[in-house]
Amino acid sequence: MAHDSLYAAPSSGAETERETGRLAGLRGVLGSWDAAVVVALVVAALLASVSVQNFATGRNVQFLLLDLVPLAMLALPMTLIVITGEIDLSVASTVGLCSTVMGQLWLSSGLSLELICVLVVILGAVLGAVNGVFVTGFGLPSLAVTIGTLALYRGLSFVVLGDQAVADFPASWTAAAVRDIPGTSIPVAVLPVLLLALVFGVVLHATSAGRALYAMGNNDQAATFAGVSVARTKFWLFVASGAVCGLVGIFWTLRYASARGDNATGLELTVVTAVLLGGVSIFGGRGGLLGVVAGVLLLGVLRNALQLADVDANALTIVTGALLVASVVLPNAVADVRARLHRRRQRANPVAP
């Protein structure tokens, strides 16, 4: 009996510690920004379903998801770029330029649409590489570089097609861009988004490359000393962002059956808002794809519900801007409050030497 009681106590203590650790981890997850965005998404969707006519219909769900496809695709590489402490504000202009080049090639080159799509993705990657060269090769701030290429690429879009639009794409292609998965209201275009999200999620959260991205966002120099090729990694992130822009340019053109110089105008603000709303720090080093996906969905639900409620387009821009400000200010304010509370608890309960 003495031996039983002697060994029972440590086992009980170890189980208590494990249980405490599990509870602390659960509290950490439930108290995270990601969880707050998911809760806000659920609440917004429920309120819209109850109060906004036609929001919960299958047809509206289809349009909502089609609207979210380009936003979600652009947000994936943007998440990785912002985590490293950089930003790409040229994504919408890159989409527009890829769209117009696609239209011009279809109009005058005689190439097959399959080959044109491949060339458009390559073009997007090249445009992203231009950003990457200026940022990593010349050491220029990504904010300044991509503001410049935002204007440059948009201007080139109008050089390629002028004010005209190309709208005679094959009906089979334009129909495929908006086709639903049989028996559902979910567009087929959602499937490539899920595949890309899986790839980017695995890279960010389950590989050493993903850990290196966080290290770069926290301290470039420390990451370099740790053996991370900072410049090369950031360069390829901009290339990946450009290639995804090429894919979005193809989808945008086929969905609306129109290649125009103003396609995707202003989309960069919405993409950045979704990424920051999802909990990615504008200063780099913090965030994850789960929160970003929830942020994309929350932003899409809010905008869709307001549109169905006949809210003015200017008000939608105001909502997007307000969410952008809130997504920058609130996480930092919450982190500051938590840090102060932690220091206060430490002063109230000092650890004995």
Mean pLDDT value of segment 321-348: 81
Question: Which 8-state DSSP code applies to residue 112?
Answer: -
- pLDDT value for 143: 97
Tens digit of each residue's pLDDT (9 = 90 or more) over 276-318: 999 999 999 999 999 999 999 999 999 999 999 998 888 888 8
Tens digit of each residue's pLDDT (9 = 90 or more) over 59-112: 999 999 999 999 999 999 999 999 999 999 999 999 999 999 999 999 999 999
State the pLDDT confidence band at 323, using cuts at 50, 70 and 90.
Answer: confident
Rounded Cα gap, residues 18 and 31, in angstroms: 20
Residue owning tokens 């822009």: 245
State the pLDDT confidence band at 14, using cuts at 50, 70 and 90.
Answer: low
State the pLDDT confidence band at 331, using cuts at 50, 70 and 90.
Answer: confident
Please say whether the beta carbons of 240 and 77 come within 8 A.
yes
Mean pLDDT value of segment 230-243: 98
What mean pLDDT, rounded, does the chain reach?
Answer: 89
Half-sphere exposure in the Cβ direction for 13 (13 Å, CA): 6
Mean pLDDT value of segment 32-61: 93
Tens digit of each residue's pLDDT (9 = 90 or more) over 151-206: 999 999 999 999 899 999 999 999 999 999 999 989 999 999 999 999 999 999 99
Mean pLDDT value of segment 3-30: 48
State the pLDDT confidence band at 30, using cuts at 50, 70 and 90.
Answer: very low
Tens digit of each residue's pLDDT (9 = 90 or more) over 249-279: 999 999 999 999 999 999 999 999 999 999 9
Rounded Cα gap, residues 80 and 288, in angstroms: 9
Residue owning tokens 């950031």: 234
pTM recorded for the entire structure: 0.88
